[in-house]
Amino acid sequence: MRKFSDITCKRLLHYVYIIQAGKDYQSKELGEVKAGRVVYVGEGKNNRAFGHKHEDWYKDGECFVELVAYQLTKETAQHVESALISTFGFENLENKRAGRQSQKKLSTKGVQNLFDIIPLVLNEKDLGHTLLVIYDSGIKRETDNLYESVTRWWRVNEKKAKKITTIIAMDKTSRKVKAVVENINTVTQNSDNESRYAFDNATKSLSLDSKYMDKWADHLRSTSMNPVQYL
């Protein structure tokens, strides 16, 4: 089939389609492709689905088209296309670009982290006395002790360092508060690097019951790349 009839195009509205390989072929982008594999995901209207017949991969694989959703709005079609590209994996397709409404696959935990957010609001007493630091779990540390990772050794202004009573660590990935250290009463200057400081409370422990825990903190971040910020 080369194209849809005019009446079909009119009734289809926007649609989403997939293209499958009709036989095994060697792809410049994907390597060896087996018959039956989905090699392209697209969206469009009218005869867009037939617009790939001159592509080398389409001819080499004797590919064929199937519609998977139709009579859609343009926006809905773009979302469905994006979801399918994410499902199959952009790197596994002949598509040259991801969908216009590009979305990533998320685990159930990822969905929870993305949508179950309560913005962090500082107590008035903590304003001007709080240090927001970024915790990157991908960075290898000298210690696995979370308390020590959060409280030392930060490059901060000496005058401001002495005012700090609370440290809030925001996880770089989830953007939520991973750890809190409150009631800081000791600030120690690094003997080898005087621009770096450590902060301790009397018990040298995390504030596990802090109301700041698990709150969304990304809205408090400036555009600076500095992993430390005064609040």
pLDDT confidence of residue 107: 79
What is the rounded average pLDDT for all residues in the chain?
88
* Region for 62 from its dihedrals, namely left if φ exceeds 0, alpha if ψ lies in -120 to 50, beta otherwise: left
In 3D space, the residue among 122, 134, 149 whose CA is nearest the CA of residue 229 turns out to be 134
Every domain range in the chain assigned CATH 3.40.1440: 6-92
195-209 pLDDT, tens digit per residue, is: 899 999 999 999 999
The pairs formed by 147-152 with CB atoms below 8 angstroms and a separation of 24 or more are 147/179, 147/181, 147/204, 147/205, 147/206, 150/179, 150/181, 150/206, 151/181, 151/184, 151/198, 151/199, 151/200, 152/188, 152/196, 152/197, 152/198, 152/199
Pairing of strands 196-201, 184-189: antiparallel
E-assigned strand segments in the chain? 14-20, 25-27, 31-33, 38-44, 64-72, 130-135, 154-155, 166-171, 177-181, 184-189, 196-201, 228-230
Backbone phi and psi for residue 185, each to the nearest 5 degrees, phi listed first: -130, 0
Specify the pLDDT at position 143.
61
Position 14 pLDDT exceeds 90: yes
pLDDT at residue 137 greater than cutoff 80 = no
Of 55-64, 99-108, 146-155, 207-216, the poorest mean pLDDT is in 99-108
Other residues' Cβ atoms within 10 Å of the Cβ of residue 129: 16
User: What is the bridge-based pairing of β-strands 228-230 and 196-201?
Assistant: unpaired
Segment 74-89 shows an average pLDDT of 91
Architecture in CATH for domain 6-92: 3-Layer(aba) Sandwich (3.40)
Q: How big, in percent rounded to 5, are the helix, strand and coil portions of the chain?
A: 25, 30, 45
**CB 89: neighbour CB atoms within 10 A?**
9
Q: Are 200 and 215 in contact (CB under 8 A)?
A: no
